[in-house]
Structure 1
Amino acid sequence: MNRKKLLIILIAGVAIGFFFWLDLSRFLTLQELKAWHQTLLEYRRTHPLAMVAGFMAIYIIQTALSLPGATILSLAAGAIFGAIAGTVYAIGAAGIGATLAFLATRYLLADMVQNKFGHKLERINSELEARGLNYLLFLRLVPLFPFFLINLAAGLTRLPLSTFVLGTVLGIIPGGFVFVNAGASLATVTTTSDIASPRVLGSLALLGFFALLPALYTKIKGRTT
């Protein structure tokens, strides 16, 4: 492994280490968000550009390093910026952060994985190159698959970057809007589990199924012809 790759791993490792050493996750709770809500609103009123830039930077770093806190940051987007603007900022930041994680994984590990397991992954890679958007939309929409694991796993395949970006952004809009919209009414939120109700989760899973239908249809049709 060359020096550039080692440096990237070192920087990421130090950043993650500091996050947990300083216990920064204690600030990423619903109680802390409510406690700081008025202060954040006042800062947004007096420094709107700095607030947007700072919020997006934090969200990008959190996503790129696969750190905890995405749910609270999505709620914060709605609480600070409102449902529509908050969704734009949250989705934009999450998309950028996910892309950075994808690219870092591909740069650091993809060659090694492909060299060692490439023959075993050839079928998966071919399928992703042909219908990767449908599969990625399914994984993003169905709330059973951890967001950060999808970023890292996709980076180890030959899924095109453009497909990853498009599938990620489109796939996280519905779920992202649910949490950002809830954050816009922060006073009514008592626990984050209340937001992801069975009805909401079922709706997202149904969207994921519809996204997967074209790929399933193509595979079934190919077997019958």
Structure 2
Amino acid sequence: MEKHADTNDVTTTIIKPIIPLPPSKFPLSFFEATVASTVALGFIIGLLGVYLTMPDSDYSFLKLPRTLHDLQLLRDNLESYTSDYTAQVLVGYCLVYIFMQTFMIPGTVFMSLLAGALFGVFKGVALVVFTATAGASSCFFLSKFIGRPLLFSLWPDKLKFFQTQVAKRRKSLLNYMLFLRLTPTLPNTFINFASPIVDVPYHIFFLGTVIGLIPAAYVTVRAGLALGELQSVGDLYDFNSIATLFFIGIISVTPTLMGKKDS
């Protein structure tokens, strides 16, 4: 008599392996480099258009802030333009923030602080969540074209870990993405770039980003109101802020953990 395996009570997580590309000196092909260059050129043209609509003045203060001193100088100079040239300042801010997110340029925390200093808490949080989500989405779609070779060159082990975790939590993926956004388990820049490679659906990525960024955006934007009192970026997150973010993150991932326990 022929035997048949009973698979009714067996749940198997199938992880589709990500096949690495052959190593090369420069990880991007000509087409991929052209796509990235075209996107960067689009941002540059947009920023040039904003610059040309501003009044003649000394804009030597316009640079990406790398320290709190740079940020305070930028805030002091932009305050005089924000009321009279609100549209230009907003468009310029959005383009810079989205550009930084798209190409994983560090320093967006300074841009979040600047939003609070220039626009207040409510408008600042709305602006940061919008630009951060738009930038993360831009990075997500750009990664579809150029992400795979860069990820295998830069973070092969981290990519494998992320793929495994996503595959295990496929049924509660939104909760897992919320957990990642709320806690420093993986860098946000890596999540943005790696999500399409490990088959995170965009609607899950989008919802996890929009909702998950709100608490941290609020903490950072609120700190921007007292920019002159900050001594370092580390002052942004006191024990209560970090504990709150972790608590929210644990709550978001609880359904995933309970599902594992019941299965």
Using structure 1 for the length normalisation, give the TM-score.
0.82
Report 1:28-43 matches (<5 A): 28-43=66-81
1:145 deviation in Å? 2.4
Task: State the match for 1:78 in structure 2.
Answer: 116
1:50 deviation in Å? 0.9
Where 2:83 maps in the other structure, the secondary structure is helix
Aligned residues: CA RMSD: 2.9
Where 2:198 maps in the other structure, the secondary structure is coil
1:155 deviation in Å? 2.0
> Could you tell me whether the CA contact under 8 Å between 1:132 and 1:163 is conserved in 2?
yes
Residue 215 of structure 2: which of 174, 181, 185 is its match?
174
Task: State the match for 2:135 in structure 1.
Answer: 97
Task: State the match for 1:161 in structure 2.
Answer: 202
Q: Identify the range of structure 1 (52-61 vs 32-41) with the bigger mean alpha-carbon deviation.
A: 32-41
Give yes or no for the alignment of 1:48 onto 2:48. no
C-alpha spacing 1:38/1:137, structure 2 compared with 1 (3 Å): same
Q: Distance in 2 between matches of 1:121 and 1:42?
A: 45
Task: State the match for 1:7 in structure 2.
Answer: 34
1:154 deviation in Å? 1.1
Give yes or no for the alignment of 1:192 onto 2:256. no
C-alpha spacing 1:43/1:201, structure 2 compared with 1 (3 Å): same
AA partner of residue 235 (structure 2): D
Deviations 1:5-49 (A, max 9, x none): 34124457899xxxxxxxx97633210121232321111011011
Q: Distance in 2 between matches of 1:99 and 1:33?
A: 26
Q: Distance in 2 between matches of 1:110 and 1:84?
A: 38
AA partner of residue 179 (structure 2): F
Q: Number of residue pairs matched?
A: 208
Where 2:207 maps in the other structure, the secondary structure is helix
> Could you tell me whether the CA contact under 8 Å between 2:65 and 2:110 is conserved in 1?
no
Deviations 1:46-80 (A, max 9, x none): 10111111111100001111001111111000001
> Could you tell me whether the CA contact under 8 Å between 1:79 and 1:184 is conserved in 2?
yes
Using structure 2 for the length normalisation, give the TM-score.
0.71
Q: Distance in 1 between matches of 2:165 and 2:219?
A: 32
AA partner of residue 42 (structure 1): S
Bigger Cα Rg: 2
Q: Distance in 2 between matches of 1:29 and 1:184?
A: 17
C-alpha spacing 1:184/1:134, structure 2 compared with 1 (3 Å): same
Deviations 1:87-140 (A, max 9, x none): 1111110111111111111233469x9xxxxxx998755545422111110010
Give yes or no for the alignment of 1:106 onto 2:137. no
C-alpha spacing 1:121/1:179, structure 2 compared with 1 (3 Å): closer
Percent identity over paired residues: 27
Q: Distance in 1 between matches of 2:179 and 2:134?
A: 19
